[in-house]
Amino acid sequence: MSGFLSSSIARKVAMALSALFLIFFLIMHLSVNLTSLFSETLFNHLSHFMGTNPMVQFLLQPILIFGVVFHFVMGFVLELKNKKATAVKYAKDNGAANSTWTSRNMVYSGLVILAFIVLHFIDFWIPELNVKYVHGDMSGLLEGTQDFRYFEELQHKFVNPLRVLAYVVSFVLLGLHLSHGFQSAFQSMGFNNKYTKTVKAAGKIYSIIVPAGFILVAVFHFLNH
């Protein structure tokens, strides 16, 4: 594995594959979250399925965590490699003329997104593990009731306006990150030339709709808790 990743092309392909995996995951995650806007019952049942299905919990979830860690580590490795490759300093660096602000600052938007992921884990993933595996409650029910707890927990997390603001800012930066990352991932996989315009258009649509969807969920529950 380390020998494979020693190649510059291999590192870029590995980075692209992890990005494409996370792009697909975001669609699935958003699809479940959007159901909370119109059906508490559907959201509860989907959340219960995702939270108790053995394949999701013990196969897909570890793969997802590995994908997130790998993507960010590889991103920082590539950033360091790029800095070393351009160690010669010029009197005038006009990088803005050849690249966008987003592409030049992917590592910084990535750091903010990483901090958001930590917050998201603290808000949802760690409490869920605590309930299921520490307290041994796999039912997914509110204490003393026959109602699932997922919808209520989701609404509770968006009561605090500062937390909602943190989510909104994070998803705006995620959109900027995706606006470059989407195209870059497909380009690294060879989808360029005649596909470039299509990939760019798809990337713009994706980088707007997906973050906007997550923002909608946060703001909706903040206004309707």
**Domain CATH for 194:** 1.20.1300.10
Per-residue tokens: 212:
């906007």
Note whether 156 and 225 are within 8 A (CB).
yes
Note whether 79 and 12 are within 8 A (CB).
no
Res. 218: pLDDT tops 60: yes
Q: Look at residue 91 and tell me if it is in a domain.
A: no
Res. 2: pLDDT tops 70: no
pLDDT category of residue 97 using cuts at 50, 70 and 90:
low
Predicted local confidence at residue 81, as pLDDT: 80
Q: Look at residue 97 and tell me if it is in a domain.
A: no
Mean pLDDT of the chain: 88
Q: Look at residue 90 and tell me if it is in a domain.
A: no
Which of 170, 169, 196 has the alpha carbon at shortest distance from 182? 196
The CA angle 156-218-36, to the nearest 5 degrees, is 75
DSSP conformation letters of 91-107 = SS--GGGTS-HHHHTHH
Res. 91: pLDDT tops 50: no
Q: Regarding predicted confidence, which is higher, 151 or 83?
A: 151
Task: Domain of residue 127: give its range.
Answer: 4-85+102-223
156 three-class SS: helix
Note whether 138 and 132 are within 8 A (CB).
yes
Tally of CB atoms within 10 A around 74: 19
Distance of CA 50 to the CA centre of its chain: 17
* Mean pLDDT confidence for 150-158: 95
The total of structural domains in the chain comes to 1
pLDDT single digits (tens) 22-61:
999 999 999 999 999 999 999 999 999 999 999 999 999 9
Q: Look at residue 94 and tell me if it is in a domain.
A: no
Q: Report the predicted TM-score, pTM, of the whole model to 2 decimal places.
A: 0.88
